[in-house]
Structure 1
Amino acid sequence: MAAVSKVEESMVNNGSLKRKLEDTDIGKHEEDEDDEDSKLPKGKTKAYRLCPYLDTINRQVLDFDFEKLCSVSLSRINVYACLVCGKYFQGRGNNTHAYTHSVAESHHVYLNLHTLKFYCLPDNYEIIDSSLDDIKYVLNPTFTSEQISSMDASDKLSRAIDGTMYLPGIVGLNNIKANDYCNVILQALSHVTPLRNYFLREINYARVKRPPGDSSFLLVQRFGELMRKLWNPRNFKAHVSPHEMLQAVVLWSRKKFQFTEQGDPIDFLSWFLNALHLALNGSKKQDSSIIYKTFLGSMRIYTRKIPPIELEEDQKEALMLMDEYQEKQTESPFLYLTCDLPPPPLFKDEFRENIIPQVNLYTLLQKFNAQMEKEYKTYKENFMKRFEITQLPPYLILYIKRFTKNTFFIEKNPTIVNFPVKNVDFGDILTPEIKEKYPNSTYDLVANIVHDGEPGKGTYRVHVLHKGSGKWYEMQDLHVIDILPQMITLTEAYIQIYELKKSNPSESR
């Protein structure tokens, strides 16, 4: 009997030992499940899937537009969003900020902002529940090719959590302090179809390789994220904050562009398009990046030097025969065209009020007809230049130069530019040889940026065409209203984006 009892005892001991080993093995898995995914053996599933605290999630307070860093330690590593109060905390293990918050506030449901996995703290298990997919989609919206191709044919409204109805793409942008000059550019670019379609699918630029230590690609990623949020049909709120996008702008422009002080949209647009082009490994070739494919045009510049005016006629004639004074020709690419406004009248009318002058857009475009000369002065030499457009881009950006700087102040030209919203024919300014290459040179307006107020101060707003509904909308930061196209032509247009029509203009008429 003693022998039998010993055997039983040893079996019991072995069994308890085996259980102890299993316990330590389970404990080991729980310890291994640190701030990254737990590495469970194949075939095993996590014990916990459902969570009793899902009804504590408050979707109203969730906002994934801000920098993903811990609200206590300001660290960017292993950041979790508390889905009850919306704050960000670091870590998941014992003594981390997220763990401490869950115990102190009884907030139990968290989302890893990097892996997009949900966890319950302090119990530290992963939650797998399809009812949370909408939160995951708001953090990282994705689009299929079919969704993107049907975007410009849809006018379907979406409903935010608070019941607000909005059109995807027609979404207000937060003004953090003085970043309306950036907002109007971002809004305008989000309605340039090839650019939008490219950035809505992350796979288009995910394989772009940058040199070691160069993180300028962050600008591309942030712009892609913002574009996907602007066109997200399942947003929780009817506006988006460009906070992360603007942080990347401040960083990569070396603080040239800030969101705490007013800037000039044309400076930002010029820098931003070139920065995106370089970050996408663009070269001087037309098809080297989506930026050049969309906006790059080409012109020929004819330059001749003018003799000093104080010289006698015979001296001028002698100089004109020299090689230095012969007309020279250069090819120049462009991303936008600068249109010069005629100077405003100096005198008031009989009612002692300034007459607001008006000018036709076609008059401004005569600058590029290869015949009209314009004088350019440097501190010691004067030049006459002619411009000839040799290549029209699919999307043409016009910059109407309203501001002139002198030694003492900045002056604004209030001249109203009269322009048609549809069927602007740029073929009228092309030379006959170039025009032969373009059977269709008719453009439609898709975005119009306006400046209101004093030079150096004032505010900016943008008009954009929503192709799905065929309606025009005016956006000024968070304020979004629909507007009649006739009203757009009465504004002080500053930057315009035109789209080349694919159909024959006579058919559309």
Structure 2
Amino acid sequence: MKTKREDSENAADEDGVAKRQKLTEDSSPQLAFENPILSLASYDDDEEEEDEARRDGNGGKHVNNGRKEEGNGHNYSEDEDDDDEEDEESRVGQGKRSRAIEVRRDCPYLDTVNRQVLDFDFEKFCSVSLSNLNVYACLVCGKYYQGRGQKSHAYTHSLEAGHHVYINLRTEKVYCLPDGYEVIDPSLDDIRHVLNPRFSREQVEHLDRNRQWSRALDGSDYLPGMVGLNNIKETDFVNVTIQSLMRVTPLRNFFLIPQNYIHCKSQLVLRFGELTRKIWHARNFKGQVSPHEFLQAVMKASKKRFRIGAQSDPVEFMSWLLNTLHGDLKSLKKGSSIIHQCFQGELEVVKEIHSKHIAEKKENGDNQNNENGDDGGTEADKVMTETSKMPFLMLGLDLPPPPLFKDIMEKNIIPQVPLFNILKKFDGETVTEVVRPRIARMRYRVTKLPQYLILHMRRFTKNNFFVEKNPTLVNFPVKNLELKDYIPLPAPSDNEKLRSKYDLIANIVHDGKPGEGSYRVFVQRKSEELWYEMQDLHVSETLPQMVALSEAYMQIYEQQQ
């Protein structure tokens, strides 16, 4: 049995608990207003916990329209765009939250939408809070704002500026603020298509047959796939590389359909896919594209080796980009990717090392005669020979040295060399001498040809003092480069035909002095077999004869099927 004293103690405890609850209830709505900055930035705790749980369940990834999005450390869930409104209600203390959002087909403010100012090429960050969480674009002035609840930046902007129509940059839903209802109107579909271009597999297959020009909002005409790229500051080396890769049909088709790389979390892959879709989109509002988000992903992935504001070499960039994309895309089972399917060939390398160098090394206590990894090592005539197979994504060609003396007119004679002369490096007989890592004589022979062959002419030589550029012109065919006439090729298997004819599809050129200068690219448009010269935003039609007169630096050839 309980005593009276115990009963009175229990009653006192219950009173205390009730008072504490009342105190917290009274004080909680005031907290939202005591710190105005906190109220703008914070989201409802319950919502965040739900998000955490969902995030753990999904492994932190979100798939939307075949496109995965990872912010800078922020992952957000499907219903988050509804959260602002609801947590405003909960903070102000207006009873229960309602998930329902009013949907209207008519909005009196749709005529204020200004497509001229919309630009979705830049990073999706709020222009006030710099957060990438739950960002909306104002369709009247084009600026980005966060949230749409009563204390959000978008809501404030709608009251201050009188701009009422906003699109969620992730879900592509359109809302009218401050009223907060969702607008469903087919006239806004063109904006959604510019924000996130979509291609069906059928459209992708017919891209190379399309001869139709598109018209931008300013009245200028452009060709889908032949649009200029903005030079954000000395980023022409990126622009020419992207424009060249856009001519590689299997690579382009792969990146035009996001389902092909839906499993990939790499920002570089996602941004490259996004950029590919924007370049080939036929309903853009303007006739050029800014590769800004792609460049940000490049800077991050390359640890600022390639960055905005610093000129780099397109050959180095191409090599880095292909290897990084392959590493991000390769499947665990096969270890292959679309990059290797397009560009990977194979070389047989025969290395001869004179035994006196080996003897010197032995005396120095270094007994590494490359014994492991030797396919065949014979020490006859005091020469050690190693044969190995080596995959390649591009082939480097050595140019003959330019003449030292000037002619009567006081100008250097610019020598010319046929492409076939410098291709002899890969005939299996021509000897190339290398100094590093040790002096050796190398012979190369191509044992497998790739579908797309990348050649680069070694124009730049660095010494201790400066970089020199070799001005030698290379004479090359624009169509029907027949390799089997100049280099021995492997015999094809019984049911296969030897494919050794190639056509040029892209030619990167360097103009100006080494270390300075600029890059431009000649590319072929397949639907009409016309050539275009592209330098950043400038795109102009040119003659095939002009392509062959330039100082070629890197070329992509396509195998004839």
Q: TM-score range by the shorter chain?
A: 0.7 to 0.9
| Alignment partner of 1:257 is 2:306 | yes
| Alignment partner of 1:474 is 2:522 | no
| Alignment partner of 1:82 is 2:138 | yes
| Alignment partner of 1:345 is 2:394 | no
**Is the CA contact (8 Å cut-off) linking 1:35 and 1:78 kept in structure 2?**
no
1:237 paired residue number = 286
Match of 1:411 among 446, 468, 472: 468
Residue correspondence of structure 1 range 16-415 to structure 2 within 5 A: 33-35=82-84, 46-208=102-264, 217-282=266-331, 288-306=336-354, 321=379, 325-378=383-436, 381-415=438-472
Aligned pair in 2 of structure 1 residues 189, 432: CA closer, same or farther (>3 Å)?
A: closer
Distance 2:311 2:164 in 1: 42
Match of 1:456 among 493, 515, 534: 515
**Is the CA contact (8 Å cut-off) linking 2:453 and 2:557 kept in structure 1?**
yes
Aligned pair in 2 of structure 1 residues 168, 392: CA closer, same or farther (>3 Å)?
A: same
CA shift, 1:382, in A, is: 1.2
Q: Which has the higher contact order (CA 8 A, sep 6+)?
A: 1
Provide the aligned length of Structure 1 versus Structure 2.
Answer: 452
Superposed structure 1 runs of 4+ greater than 4 Å apart: 35-41, 282-285, 320-324, 435-438
CA shift, 1:470, in A, is: 1.3
| Alignment partner of 1:500 is 2:559 | yes
CA shift, 1:457, in A, is: 1.1
**Is the CA contact (8 Å cut-off) linking 2:356 and 2:382 kept in structure 1?**
no
Secondary structure at the residue paired with 2:508? Answer: strand
CA shift, 1:49, in A, is: 2.9
**AA at the equivalent of 1:163:** G
The Cα RMSD (Å) is 2.3
Distance 2:258 2:292 in 1: 20
Distance 1:294 1:426 in 2: 18
CA shift, 1:47, in A, is: 4.4
Distance 2:142 2:308 in 1: 24
Distance 1:290 1:487 in 2: 32
**Is the CA contact (8 Å cut-off) linking 2:417 and 2:475 kept in structure 1?**
yes
**Is the CA contact (8 Å cut-off) linking 1:427 and 1:435 kept in structure 2?**
no
CA shift, 1:424, in A, is: 0.3
Q: Deviations over 1:446-499 (max 9, x none)?
A: 000000001011100011101012111111000110110100111110010000
Aligned pair in 2 of structure 1 residues 470, 501: CA closer, same or farther (>3 Å)?
A: same
Aligned pair in 2 of structure 1 residues 134, 79: CA closer, same or farther (>3 Å)?
A: same
CA shift, 1:434, in A, is: 3.5
2:506 paired residue number = 447
Aligned pair in 2 of structure 1 residues 143, 471: CA closer, same or farther (>3 Å)?
A: same
Aligned pair in 2 of structure 1 residues 306, 456: CA closer, same or farther (>3 Å)?
A: farther
Secondary structure at the residue paired with 1:327? Answer: strand
Secondary structure at the residue paired with 2:231? Answer: coil
**AA at the equivalent of 1:414:** P
Distance 1:457 1:366 in 2: 31
Distance 2:98 2:488 in 1: 70
**Is the CA contact (8 Å cut-off) linking 1:110 and 1:121 kept in structure 2?**
yes
Distance 1:347 1:386 in 2: 32
Unaligned runs of 5+ in 1: 1-30, 209-214, 312-319, 503-509
Aligned identity (percent) is 55
**AA at the equivalent of 1:452:** D
Distance 1:435 1:360 in 2: 27
1:484 paired residue number = 543
Unaligned runs of 5+ in 2: 1-79, 88-96, 360-377
